[in-house]
Amino acid sequence: MIDGETDMKRYIALATLALFFSGCHFFGSGNEVETVYLTNLIENGAKVWKPAELEAYAGKVVFELENTLEEAHGFVVKGVNDPVVVGPKKTVKVTANLKPGTYPLECHLHPAHVPSSITIVEKAKL
Ligand SMILES: [Cu+2]
């Protein structure tokens, strides 16, 4: 009974925290860092970073890169950051400072690796 209550309190605390962080995107002060998630996998026989298209606000963007495959893959925000290698079955975080525009997200290790793209938009001024 006591254990159940503790679990419930823990759950509520976590749920509140999750709500707080998910709300940041809309109500943030403008200084928070946005995180986007990309997963590397095989789709119809091709190596792809998914999703194919991402969107984020201008400023610092953290790319959390999950490589689900058995070989290393690369990641570069073209024209912005240095290429990074994500090892087999590894997750790596890369931070890039991005101005408004659309940037290809490429694997520099495999020319056939299908790129994704991210569109950066200016934060709305209230
Ligand atoms: Cu690759």
Q: pLDDT per residue over 61-110, tens digit each?
A: 999 999 999 999 999 999 999 999 999 999 999 999 999 999 999 999 99
- Are residues 79 and 40 located together in one domain of the fold? yes
The tally of domains found in the chain comes to 2
44 assigned to some structural domain: yes
**Structural contact between residues 110 and 73, judged by C-beta atoms closer than 8 angstroms:** yes
Judging by DSSP bridges, how do beta strands 46-50 and 84-86 pair with one another? unpaired
Distance 39 CA to ligand 1 centre (A): 11
Q: What pLDDT shows up at residue 23?
A: 45
Q: Which domain holds residue 47?
A: 33-121
Distance 2 CA to ligand 1 centre (A): 50
Q: Alpha helix (H) ranges present in 1-126?
A: 2-27
- Are residues 54 and 108 located together in one domain of the fold? yes
Distance 25 CA to ligand 1 centre (A): 30
Q: What is the DSSP string of 76-105?
A: EETTTS--EEE-TT-EEEEEEEE-SEEEEE
Statement: residue 2 has pLDDT above 60: no
126 assigned to some structural domain: no
Q: Is the pTM of this model over 0.85?
A: no
Residue 113, token pair as written in the block: 């690796």
- Are residues 25 and 54 located together in one domain of the fold? no
Q: What pLDDT shows up at residue 104?
A: 96
Q: What pLDDT shows up at residue 73?
A: 97
pLDDT (tens digit, 9 = 90+) per residue, 22-41?
Answer: 444 444 455 678 999 999 99
- Are residues 85 and 24 located together in one domain of the fold? no
